[in-house]
């Protein structure tokens, strides 16, 4: 018979393996995480960027477009490209209907042109199959990795997701 800790025998929230300490550790992390998250969000409310063009109006299309453009590129560089891009392609359908050469021409100067080709291919897939609301759905698209997918669902659909920025 497996040995159970004394805490477990007293009914202190043991898991399937009889480990009360693991259960207490998870509870302690939740208590620490909530105040940290609150402080972080309060900091963002005071100091964060609230005026980026892809934030207003916020849509899955605009968030996705900005996240692809922001890969390996600074925000200040992306802003004018983003504005020109949404002026020419205001929605997913217009981007999907465009020729790839036109997309590449608007992308010219932003670098990493595979991003533009993947963006165009993904736009066509999104028009054909619909816009996913899950990170897994976004990550299945060309040019969208797990972190980008998480950023899209967090911003566009207000989902909890882990975003890594390097």
Least reliable range by pLDDT among 17-26, 76-85, 97-106, 143-152: 17-26
Cα(116)–Cα(19) distance, rounded to whole angstroms? Answer: 51
State what percent of residues in the chain have pLDDT above 90: 68
Catalytic residues: 67
How does DSSP classify residue 163? -
How does DSSP classify residue 52? -
Domain ranges of the chain: 60-157
Q: Is the pLDDT of residue 33 over 90?
A: no
Least reliable range by pLDDT among 4-13, 102-111, 112-121, 136-145: 4-13
What's the pLDDT score for residue 14? 37
What's the pLDDT score for residue 27? 52
Q: What distances in angstroms separate CA 127 from CA 59, 93, 121, one per listed residue?
A: 15, 6, 10
Least reliable range by pLDDT among 1-5, 6-10, 66-70: 6-10
This model's pTM is above 0.85: no
What's the pLDDT score for residue 7? 37
Which H, E and C letters describe 61-95, residue by residue?
Answer: HHHHHHHHHCCCCCHHHHHHHHHHHHHHCCCHHHH
For domain 60-157, give its CATH number from 3.30.420.40, 1.10.8.60, 3.50.50.60, 1.10.340.30: 1.10.340.30
pLDDT band at 36; cut points 50, 70, 90: confident
What's the pLDDT score for residue 26? 53
Helices marked H in 10-166 — which ranges?
20-47, 60-69, 75-88, 92-97, 100-107, 114-129, 135-139, 146-157
């Amino acid at each position: 018979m497996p040995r159970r800790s004394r805490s477990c025998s007293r009914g202190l929230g043991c898991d399937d393996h009889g480990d009360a300490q693991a259960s207490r550790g998870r509870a302690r992390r939740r208590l620490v995480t909530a105040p940290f998250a609150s402080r972080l969000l309060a900091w963002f409310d005071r100091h964060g960027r609230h005026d980026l063009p892809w934030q207003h109006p916020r849509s899955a299309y605009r968030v996705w477009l900005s996240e692809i453009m922001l890969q390996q590129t600074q925000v200040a560089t992306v802003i004018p490209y983003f504005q020109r891009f949404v002026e020419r392609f205001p929605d997913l359908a217009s981007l999907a209907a465009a020729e790839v050469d036109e997309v590449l021409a608007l992308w010219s100067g932003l670098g990493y042109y595979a991003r533009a080709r993947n963006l165009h291919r993904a736009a066509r897939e999104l028009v054909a199959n619909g816009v996913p609301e899950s990170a897994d759905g976004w990550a299945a698209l060309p040019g969208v990795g797990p972190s980008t997918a998480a950023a899209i669902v967090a911003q566009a659909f207000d989902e909890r997701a882990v975003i890594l920025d390097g």
